[in-house]
Amino acid sequence: MRLLAGLLLSFSLVVGGFARDVESFNEGWLFKKGPFPTDQILFQSGFDQRWQDVIIPHTWNAIDMQNDKNNFYAGEAFYKKTYRPDASMKDKRIFLNFEGVASVAELYVNGTFAGNHKGGYSAFTIEISKLLKFGEDNEILLKVDNSSRPDVVPINHTLFGVYGGMYRPVHLIITEKVNIAVTDYASPGIYISQKNVTNKSADVNVEIKIENKNREAKRVQLLTSIYDMDGKLKLKKETAINVLPQGRQFYNQNFTITNPHLWQGLEDPYLYKVVTQILSNGTVIDEVIQPLGLRHFELKAADGMYLNGKKVPMYGVCRHQDWWQSGSALTNEQHDADLAIIKEIGATTIRLAHYQQSEYFYSKCDSIGFMIWAEIPFVNRVSTKEADNAKQQITELIRQNYNHPSIYTWGLHNEVYTPINYTASLTTELHDLAKSEDPYRYTVSVNGYGDPGHGVNMNADIQGINRYFGWYEKKIQDMEPWIEGMEKEYPDYKIMLAEYGTEANIYHQQEVVGDVGDCCGFDKQYNETFATRFHEIQWGYIANHPYLLASYLWNTFDFATPASSQGGVEARNMKGLVTFDRKLKKDPFYWYKANWSKDPVLYLTQRRATERENKITPVTVYSNIGVPQLFVNGVEVKNYKKGTTHVHYIFENIELQEGVNEIEVKASYKGETYDDKIQWNYERNRNTRSDIRKPQENKNEHIGL
> Which residues are annotated as catalytic?
415
Nearest residue to 458 via CA among 500, 412, 501? 412
First CA to last CA distance, the chain: 36
Q: CA 265 to CA 197: how far, in whole Å?
A: 15
Distances in whole angstroms, Cα of residue 55 to Cα of each of 27, 60, 207: 5, 12, 36
Compute the C-alpha angle 143/146/147, nearest 5°.
115
Q: CA 467 to CA 552: how far, in whole Å?
A: 11
Q: CA 2 to CA 123: how far, in whole Å?
A: 8
Nearest residue to 566 via CA among 510, 511, 501? 501
Q: CA 27 to CA 37: how far, in whole Å?
A: 28
**3-class state of residue 548 by DSSP:** strand
Q: CA 321 to CA 357: how far, in whole Å?
A: 7
**3-class state of residue 637 by DSSP:** strand
Q: CA 459 to CA 429: how far, in whole Å?
A: 9
With 0-12 CB in 10 A as exposed, 13-18 as middle and 19+ as buried, what is 133? middle
Q: CA 443 to CA 458: how far, in whole Å?
A: 11
Q: CA 59 to CA 75: how far, in whole Å?
A: 12
Q: CA 124 to CA 107: how far, in whole Å?
A: 11
Q: CA 235 to CA 228: how far, in whole Å?
A: 9
Q: What residue type is assigned to position 678 of the chain?
A: I
Query: Residues in the chain, how many?
Result: 705
Q: CA 496 to CA 304: how far, in whole Å?
A: 10
CB atoms within 10 A of CB 44: 9
R_g over Cα of the chain: 27
Distances in whole angstroms, Cα of residue 646 to Cα of each of 510, 543, 582, 596, 604: 25, 11, 28, 11, 16
Q: CA 421 to CA 455: how far, in whole Å?
A: 8
Q: CA 549 to CA 501: how far, in whole Å?
A: 18
Please, what's the b/e burial string for 587-626 (b: 16 or more CB within 10 A of its CB; e: otherwise)? bbbbbbbbbbbeeebbbbbbbbbbbbbeeebbbbbbbbbe
CB atoms within 10 A of CB 660: 12
